[in-house]
């Protein structure tokens, strides 16, 4: 008998936020979903969402085998409603998102800032592949942290005040 069989499944919700939710946060969402960490759900949003997702990003995600189902630009404030659910981790991709995103999510999510700067001259497929390669190690490290959190029942991302 598996000792974890009767334990309540812990769900961890992760929200990736970038400036427009057209490329970078969508890529991060797709990358985390591809890790298939049991109990982890990934979402993405933007500070000022674009009208549509970057078609080169969606194409590259499909070609990379990551899929693009459910990826479209959404506003961050739609996720700040406690009726929708609470997030355990909010990852802000880039300084612009970190500066503009209010820390008003319900509960006590851990806020993480990833230093990331996309380049306008690398907008097409080459730029998207570059962005995937830059974001991939960050997402892999987050997935491993989440896997360990779920495996050992630890609290995700202890706060800075935990030592006090």
Per-residue model confidence (pLDDT) at position 75: 95
Q: What is the CATH number of the domain that holds 126?
A: 3.40.50.2300
Domain membership flag for residue 160: no
- Count how many domains the chain has: 1
How many of the other CB atoms lie within 10 Å of CB of 120? Answer: 6
| Residue-by-residue pLDDT tens, the chain, 164 positions | 333 333 356 789 999 999 999 999 999 999 999 999 999 999 999 999 999 999 999 999 998 888 888 899 999 999 998 887 789 999 999 999 999 999 989 988 999 999 887 655 556 667 888 899 999 999 999 999 998 865 544 434 333 333 33
Is 108 among the domain residues? yes
Do the domain assignments include residue 90? yes
In a domain? residue 4: no
Per-residue CA distances from 85 to 12, 88, 107 (Å): 11, 10, 9
Q: Does residue 55 lie within any of the structural domains?
A: yes
Boundaries of domain holding 19: 12-155
- Sequence-ordered list of residues with C-beta below 8 angstroms from that of 110, at least 6 positions apart, any chain: 88, 89, 90, 156, 157, 159
> How far is it between the farthest Cα atoms of the chain?
56
pTM of structure = 0.82
Asked if the structure places residue 105 within a domain, the reply is yes
Q: Which two tokens stand for residue 112?
A: 């993480």
Compute the distance between CA of residue 46 and CA of residue 86 in angstroms, rounded to an integer: 17
């Amino acid at each position: 008998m598996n000792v974890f069989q009767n334990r309540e499944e812990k769900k961890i919700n992760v929200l990736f936020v970038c400036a427009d939710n057209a490329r970078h946060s969508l890529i991060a969402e797709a990358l985390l979903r591809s890790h298939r960490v049991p109990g982890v759900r990934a979402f993405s949003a933007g500070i000022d969402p674009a009208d549509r997702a970057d078609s080169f990003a969606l194409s590259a995600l499909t070609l990379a085998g990551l899929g693009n189902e459910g990826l479209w630009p959404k506003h961050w404030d739609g996720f700040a409603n406690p009726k929708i659910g609470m997030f355990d981790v909010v990852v802000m991709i880039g300084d612009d998102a970190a500066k503009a995103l209010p820390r008003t999510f319900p509960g006590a999510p851990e806020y993480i800032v990833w230093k990331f700067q996309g380049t306008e001259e690398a907008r097409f497929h080459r730029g998207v592949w570059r962005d995937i390669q830059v974001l991939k190690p960050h997402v892999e490290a987050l997935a491993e942290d989440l896997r360990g959190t779920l495996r050992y029942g630890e609290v995700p991302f202890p706060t800075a005040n935990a030592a006090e």
